[in-house]
Amino acid sequence: MAIHGKVASFYSHVSGAPLQAENAAMSSQPTGSTVEFVIMDSTKRYWDSNSNVTVYVSSVATSSDLYGIEYTGGRVIFDNAPSGGVTVDCYTFSVAEVGGGFNWSLTLSGGLTDAPEFQKEWMHRLSGIRDWEVSFDRYWANDGYATLYNRDEDIHVVLYPDIDSDKRYEGRGKFGNMDITAPAEELIDQTISISGEGTMHYRTDTP
């Protein structure tokens, strides 16, 4: 499945080491949700996926069997509505915008595997490992992306299908291809692809 959009923003880590956030307050998001919570400090919404996250309800640590974690966006998704206030211990990265892009295309893959059944007319398929990739265009202005490419940095992508809406896709990935077209006496175009590291999330709330 391919999704196309108009504008995109890209963020990278300011430093290599994440910082610990303790007992950080969470609020329901989207507003009024009973199961989805986001860390209230917007500067701490990019969590280290290699570090432990502890979630508390009414100051009591909660079993990880009762919720899921969205590291990009700093969210906790409960199976059922918690019975009290939610806080979290986590490790967060400070990020800075490294540039934008346009004419992006997001491809989501279900990783289907053929599983034919004997004496059946139609093919049967099983879902495998899911994946995503985004490609986008930009006008070349500096070597910021090239520097990050050489450092093998994680990139956080925010993709907007519509300029006038907060609806967006958010995910974390790594650089794939970086193609530069440099015709004479014209702006230099650059086409870049980023391959996913984990889930691509669809958001409808205010960033």
Looking at domain 2-12+95-203, does it have CATH number 2.40.30?
Answer: yes
Domain boundaries, the chain: 2-12+95-203, 17-92
Using a pLDDT cut of 70, give the percent of the chain over it. 90
The confidence band for 58, taking pLDDT boundaries of 50, 70 and 90, is: very high
Position 199 pLDDT exceeds 60: yes
The confidence band for 43, taking pLDDT boundaries of 50, 70 and 90, is: very high
CB 201 within 8 A of CB 35: no
Residue 149: phi and psi, rounded to 5, are -60, -45
